Amino acid sequence: MKGAILIISGPSGCGKSSLLKEVFKNEKNIYFSISTTTRKKRAGEKEGIDYFFIDKNEFNEGVDNGLFLEWAKVHGNYYGTSLVSVIKALKKGNLVIFDIDVQGQKSIKEKFSAISTSLFISTQDQKTLRARLEKRGTDGKKAIEKRLKNALSEMTNIKKFDYLLINDDFETTLENLLTIVKGARLKNKLYNIDDFLVEWID
C-alpha cells in the first residue's frame, strides 16, 4: 500500500484549520503539506510550521525550475507546494493532506488522480461566512470583502470535488471528515490489485 492524498479546499473562514488540528490529534502517519508563500508573515506565524516565507524572485525561480507541484496567485500573493516533499511523504506511505484553493486542487488531481481524494468545506451560507471572518478579527473591511468575493468564485467549483462538508456543527463535521480521511487511505487504486488477486487465489 502506497501513500495517498487528501485535498481540502474551502473559503477562508469556513473552519478548515480548526478541523485539521483535530484530525492531526486523531490520525497517525499524516504529512501536512506546508505551502510556500510570498505574503508577509502574520503575528504568531512560524517559519516551516505555518508557511515557508520567501520573496517573489525566489518563488519565480522555483517555478522556472519545476520545484512546485502546484502554485497560484491568491489575494495578490503567490502560494506553492514543494514537489520533492510530497513525493518523499508518499513513498513513506503517509496520507498527504493539502489545504489549498480550488486552482491548486485541479493541478494536484491532474498529476495524482489515482491516489487523490478531494473535499470542499463550506459554511451554511454567505452570511455565516461573513460573520466568522468579522469575528476572527485578522482582516480589515476591504480584506473581508475581497475574501467574500473570492469565496463566491470558489463555491462555483464545488462539483469538481469528491465530497462536500457544510460546517454548521463542528463535532458532526469533524466526525464526517475523519470518515473521509479513513476512506482516502482505502481506495483500491492504492493497492496492487493484480498481486493481491494472485495471493488470494493461492
As a whole number of angstroms, the distance between CA 122 and CA 151 comes to 9
Query: What is the pTM (predicted TM-score) of this model?
Result: 0.82
CB atoms within 10 A of CB 81: 22
CA atoms within 13 A on the CB side of 70: 22
pLDDT of residue 129: 93
CB atoms within 10 A of CB 186: 11
As a whole number of angstroms, the distance between CA 5 and CA 9 comes to 13
Look up residue 54 and give its amino acid: I
Number of domain units in the chain? 1
CATH of the domain at 80: 3.40.50.300
Contact 100, 108 (CB under 8 A): yes
Range of the domain at 79: 4-201
As a whole number of angstroms, the distance between CA 185 and CA 58 comes to 35
Per-residue model confidence as pLDDT tens digits over 33-84: 998 999 999 888 899 888 999 999 999 999 999 999 988 888 789 999 988 8
As a whole number of angstroms, the distance between CA 104 and CA 13 comes to 18
